[in-house]
Amino acid sequence: MYDKTMSLSQAADLIKDGMLLAIGGNGMHRTPSIFSLALTKKPVKELKVCGAAPGLASDILFASFQADTAYFGFFGLENEAGLAPGMRKSMEGDNPKAKAIEGS
Amino acid sequence: MDYSKNEMMAIATGREFSDGELAIFGVGLSMLAGFFAQRNHAPNMIAFTEGGVYGSTPVGGLPWGIEDNRISANATSFTNAIDALGMLVASGRVDNAVIGAAQIDKFGNVNTTGIWTEGTQPWKVGKYTLPKVRLNGSGGANEIAVGAKKYIIMAAHEKKRFAEKVDYISSPGYINGGDDRKKYGFPGGGPSAIVTNLGILRPDPVTKEFYLDSYFVFSSVEEIIENTGWDLKVSPNVKMIPEPTEKELENLRAVDETGSLRKK
């Protein structure tokens, strides 16, 4: 049987500049945050992120300025955790580093 | 009786639900309000979330999200947003719902997209400009606002949130009032109430402008007018909302196991 297992670092190497990533999970739940943290160790940039409700894993990539576009219906950390700080950091201000394409 | 303002708000929202309704709840306090109703007086209510968690009752306190284990543990089915929003809501089958709002206007339009600097709002400059504060987006609230037969909006009653006109319409209420919803072909009927931590506003049957219907024992007509950013009309029959009964509080706290509504 073909063995697809690999290290987190090797998996992160599969991601290239400018890729559109569909990151699973919803808000704070079942998001592959460790994978996003592994990506922050790589020089990859200009990533695009899509999902119905991107949360923590996507927010990490905006906090590190490696993602420049988010396609979403809801982008937040839910309830008491509130708004997504990484997304806000990269999208607000006079010279935003990222843009939001909001739909639902 | 000792209860918090948020508990009163949740109970007032829950009273807007009837038994046997098909209902959809957003995340947060609205979910507690809805499931309080199910436990208290609407045992045959079927509730679901936009994530597709259908027929569940939360366990362990306030769910942290629409697909949290606390909400999905005992669901009849756990499908997806296409079934929940694309099928059940968009087809006009949903009887009642609750959504939240960061900013709201006199026609019940809700903004959860962003807050703009005064004068730079997209509707003022005629094109989309970047907001000063980026909010989390509508999520499924837009579909609910368009498709549910009726729905309740829950919001903190502050002047900066209750604007004459929202910066951006993320989830439409009655747009510019009157029969505007018909122009857009929305299957749903629009918001039936705005329940806040100070009272309840309801839409005028003709103009669809929200007026003050009732207030809580701890608020007043004057306080509500002061905290509303438009020239709020007051019902000639404005009344005080009955305080929670012992049974209502007991049922609310059974749902709100972790005391989220009692936190300051």
Answer whether residue A39 is part of any domain.
yes
pLDDT digits (tens, 9 = 90+) for B40-67: 999 999 999 998 999 988 888 888 888 8
Query: Given B131, B133, B143, which is nearest A104 (Cβ)?
Result: B143
Query: Given A26, A80, A100, which is nearest B67 (Cβ)?
Result: A26
The distance of B66 to chain A (nearest Cα, Å) reads 8
**Residue B12 pLDDT greater than 80, yes or no:** yes
Would you give the DSSP letter of residue B117?
P
**Residue A104 pLDDT greater than 70, yes or no:** no
**Terminal CA-to-CA distance of chain A, rounded, Å?**
40
Q: Would you call B66 and A53 a contact, using CB atoms and an 8 Å cutoff?
A: yes
Place of tokens 């990269």: A90
**Which residues numbered 23-62 in B keep a CB inside 8 Å of some CB on A?**
27-28, 51, 62
**Whole-angstrom Cα Rg for chain A:** 14
Residue of A50, A79, A89, A99 for testing the chain B interface, max B β-carbons within 10 Å: A79
Strand B46-48 versus strand A76-78 pairing type: unpaired
| CB-based contact, B139 to chain A, within 8 Å | yes
The distance of B170 to chain A (nearest Cα, Å) reads 9
Which residue in A has a C-alpha nearest to residue B80's C-alpha? A52
Q: How many domains does chain A have?
A: 1
**Terminal CA-to-CA distance of chain B, rounded, Å?**
18
User: What phi and psi, each to the nearest 5 degrees, are found at residue B103?
Assistant: -140, 145
Q: Which two tokens stand for residue A51?
A: 């999902």
pLDDT digits (tens, 9 = 90+) for B204-260: 999 999 999 999 999 999 999 999 999 999 999 999 999 999 999 999 999 999 898
Answer whether residue A59 is part of any domain.
yes
Answer whether residue A35 is part of any domain.
yes
Other beta carbons within 10 angstroms of residue B183's beta carbon come to: 10
- On chain A, the residues whose CB falls within 8 A of the CB of B69 are 29
Size of interface A-B (CB pairs under 8 A): 77
Q: Which of B7, B16, B21, B50 is catalytic?
A: B50
Would you give the DSSP letter of residue B116?
P
Q: Would you call B130 and A91 a contact, using CB atoms and an 8 Å cutoff?
A: yes
Answer whether residue A66 is part of any domain.
yes
d(CA A77, CA B192): 29
| CB-based contact, B140 to chain A, within 8 Å | yes
Answer whether residue A28 is part of any domain.
yes
Residue A78: the pLDDT is: 80
Q: How many domains does chain B have?
A: 1
Q: Would you call B137 and A72 a contact, using CB atoms and an 8 Å cutoff?
A: yes
The distance of A1 to chain B (nearest Cα, Å) reads 31
Interface pTM (ipTM) of the complex?
A: 0.88
Amino acid B251 reads N
- On chain B, the residues whose CB falls within 8 A of the CB of A63 are none
d(CA B41, CA B38): 6
**Residue B134 pLDDT greater than 90, yes or no:** yes
Q: Would you call B134 and A78 a contact, using CB atoms and an 8 Å cutoff?
A: no
Answer whether residue A71 is part of any domain.
yes
Assign residue B92 the CATH number of its domain.
3.40.1080.10
Instruction: Examine the residue annotation and report whether B50 is marked as an active-site residue of this protein.
Output: yes
pLDDT digits (tens, 9 = 90+) for B16-44: 999 999 999 987 788 889 999 999 999 99
Mean pLDDT of B163-179: 97
Residue-number span of the structural domain to which B155 is assigned = 5-262
pLDDT digits (tens, 9 = 90+) for A14-72: 999 999 999 998 888 889 999 999 999 999 999 999 998 899 999 999 999 999 999 99
Residue-number span of the structural domain to which A80 is assigned = 18-102
d(CA B215, CA B195): 10
Mean pLDDT of B104-128: 94
Which residue in A has a C-alpha nearest to residue B30's C-alpha? A79
Residue of A59, A77, A78, A83 for testing the chain B interface, max B β-carbons within 10 Å: A78
**Residue A103 pLDDT greater than 80, yes or no:** no
- On chain A, the residues whose CB falls within 8 A of the CB of B130 are 91-92, 96
